[in-house]
Amino acid sequence: METILVTGGAGFIGNCFCKLLLKERPEWKVVNVDSLTYAANPNTIKEELNNPNYKFYKTDIRDREAIYKIFEEEKPNIVVNFAAESHVDRSILDPESFLTTNIIGTEVLMDACRKYGIERYHQVSTDEVYGDLPLDRPDLFFHEDTPLHTSSPYSTSKASADLLVLAYFRTYGLPVTISRCSNNYGPYQFPEKLIPLMIYKANHDQKLPVYGEGINIRDWLYVEDHCRGILAVLEKGRVGEVYNLGGHNERNNLYIVKRILSELNKPESLIEHVADRHGHDQRYAIDPAKANKELGWDPITTFEVGIKKTIEWYLSDKGSAWLDECMKQNQEWLVKNYKNRK
Ligand code: NAD
Ligand code: TYD
Read off the CATH number of the domain in which 37 is found.
3.40.50.720
Query: Ligand 1 atom 25: the closest Cα is on which residue?
Result: 12
pLDDT at 1: 81
pLDDT at 247: 87
Query: Ligand 1 atom 19: the closest Cα is on which residue?
Result: 60
Show the domain range for 41: 3-189+219-250+282-303
pLDDT at 341: 86
Of 48, 127, 219, 225, catalytic: 127
Domain count, the chain: 1
Beta strands in 196-249, from DSSP E residues, in sequence order: 208-211, 217-219, 221-222, 242-245
- The residue ranges of the chain whose pLDDT is under 50 are none
Q: What is the pTM of this model?
A: 0.98
Q: Is residue 329 part of a domain?
A: no
Q: Is residue 9 part of a domain?
A: yes
C-alpha 164/C-alpha 189 separation (Å) is 27
Please state the atom number of ligand 1 nearest to the C-alpha of residue 81. Answer: 32
pLDDT at 333: 95
Q: Is residue 261 part of a domain?
A: no
pLDDT at 244: 98
Of 154, 185, 222, 314, catalytic: 154
Active site residue 94: no
CA-based nearest residue to 161, from 233, 113, 106 = 106
pLDDT at 113: 98
Q: Is residue 315 part of a domain?
A: no
Express each pLDDT in 230-243 by its tens digit. 999 999 999 999 99
Active site residue 338: no
| 3-state secondary structure at position 67 | helix
C-alpha 16/C-alpha 302 separation (Å) is 18
- Interior angle at CA 122, CA 116 and CA 125, nearest 5: 140
Sign for the pseudo-dihedral over CA of 129, 299, 257, 36: negative
Query: Which residues have C-beta atoms less than 6 Å from ligand 2?
Result: 88, 183, 193-194, 197, 209-211, 216, 218, 253, 277
Q: Is residue 88 part of a domain?
A: yes
pLDDT at 98: 98
Q: Is residue 265 part of a domain?
A: no
**Is residue 255 within 8 Å of residue 227, measured between CB atoms?**
no
pLDDT at 340: 82
121 in the Ramachandran plot: left (φ > 0), alpha (ψ -120 to 50) or beta? beta
Residues 6+ apart with CB under 8 A from 89: 192, 277, 337
Pocket test of ligand 2: the residue of 102, 211, 252 to mutate, having most ligand atoms within 8 Å of its CB, is 211
Q: Is residue 17 part of a domain?
A: yes
Active site residue 128: yes
Q: Is residue 258 part of a domain?
A: no
